[in-house]
Amino acid sequence: MAPIDLDTARRLDRDDPLRSFRDRFHIPPGPDGRDSVYLCGNSLGLQPRGTRQAMLDELDDWARLGVEGHFDGRHPWYSYHEQVAEAAAHVVGATPEEVVMMNGLTTNLHLLMVSFYRPTADRFRIVTEAGAFPSDRYAVASQARFHGYDPDDAIVELAPRDGETALRTDDIVAWLDEHGADVALVMLGGVNYYTGQAFDLRAITEAGHRAGAVVGFDLAHAAGNLLLNLHDDGPDFAAWCSYKYLNSGPGSVAGAFVHERHAFAPDLPRFAGWWGNDPKTRFTMPETFVPQRGAAGWQLSNAPVFTTAPFRVSGAMFVEATMPALRAKSERLTGALLDLVDALPEGSVEVITPRDVAQRGCQLSLHVHGDAKRLQAMLQSEGFVADFRPPSVVRVAPVPMYNTFEDVWRLADLLRRVVTGAPTGADA
């Protein structure tokens, strides 16, 4: 499509039904004191204006009520994880029973793999994607090692074809159909952090199950970004953080999904803690652990209130905006940026994220033919917040909750001026 101009970008922003959400976020200032163009929500989302009060409310209830805040607070701590289950379920396309907000992302992955990675002598391999985020690679390798296997033998990393940057779904499916007999677990990221490729979760799940394997996903870059349907797509488990697209702040609570077919599986091995126990007997302190139904049965401890409170605010915003509406805007917003980048001089910037809208979310990964680190520094000096990944990629993620069409136009205009040698900054 023909790239948008500035007037069109501003018209699209005026007509945007989600435009009011931007005003509900703190936008960090740029070097000139004006709002920056923040394109790093794939790394850390912005702070909703309501977050500070939500945190103060919990501090005030603690000061005012002490231990009684567990039941008499404005948002009782005893049931805190239950109060955010509906929002979490909306974000990932699940039922409230299938989700729980707890711990951190990699902690949740390990807790879930305790249950769902059950290797045997004949079926022990873990399939993941080459170039997965390091934490995922460390987690699966350590799980294999914990069970007595050499990670170099147990871990299978599927890579794109030579000369390609994205891993084809057909290749994943074909590999599992041919080699899946010894695979115990398929665990990929929902969106690859480096390339921005979004994977077909349903096709991968079906292929993994057809091979007799368990299937799980790390949704760190997918939750709040893609229109997920975990219940219908059917993976066995998934986990995600809430500090990226979900705008809950650094180190805030993570999420876990366990499909309803495992909702009550007391014989399924797991690491147990008292908050995962059946609530009807929790305070009778029974000696035998009886897990409660659903994902909440994987909890170890009571809800971390001060890291969950931000998600209570941001999660409610996702329910209000709705994931279908956010995804629709995301497709238009990132599509507009893709058209603008395509109009740059040939050979200057290459998009390595798949062009098929079904295979990408908010993020475009730009391979810079030149000094990418210098380009990143120039973006920063002009008030753009993006992310440099060595050796040559700048990641930009226009987030539909708070980014605008004018933001993406301004980014492309600066890229054009940089690659053509036109004046920038004070020289413009």
Between CA 354 and CA 68 the distance in angstroms is: 52
Looking at residue 278, its pLDDT comes to 86
Residue 8 CB-density burial (10 A; 0-12 exposed, 13-18 middle, 19+ buried):
middle
Count the helix, strand and coil residues of the chain and give each as a percent rounded to the nearest 5. Answer: 45, 15, 40
Q: Which CATH architecture does the domain made up of 6-42+322-420 adopt?
A: Alpha-Beta Complex (3.90)
Convert the pLDDT of each residue in 299-339 to its tens digit: 999 999 999 999 999 999 999 999 999 999 999 999 999 99
Structure tokens that stand for 354 in this block: 């798949």
Which pTM does this prediction carry? 0.95
Looking at residue 89, its pLDDT comes to 98
User: Which element (helix H / strand E) includes 9?
Assistant: helix 6-14
Amino acid at position 9, single letter: A
Between CA 75 and CA 14 the distance in angstroms is: 36
Looking at residue 423, its pLDDT comes to 64
**Which residues of the chain carry a pLDDT beneath 70?**
423-428
Looking at residue 426, its pLDDT comes to 44
Query: Is the domain covering 55-320 a CATH 3.40.640.10 domain?
Result: yes
Q: Could you tell me the residue ranges of all domains in the chain?
A: 6-42+322-420, 55-320
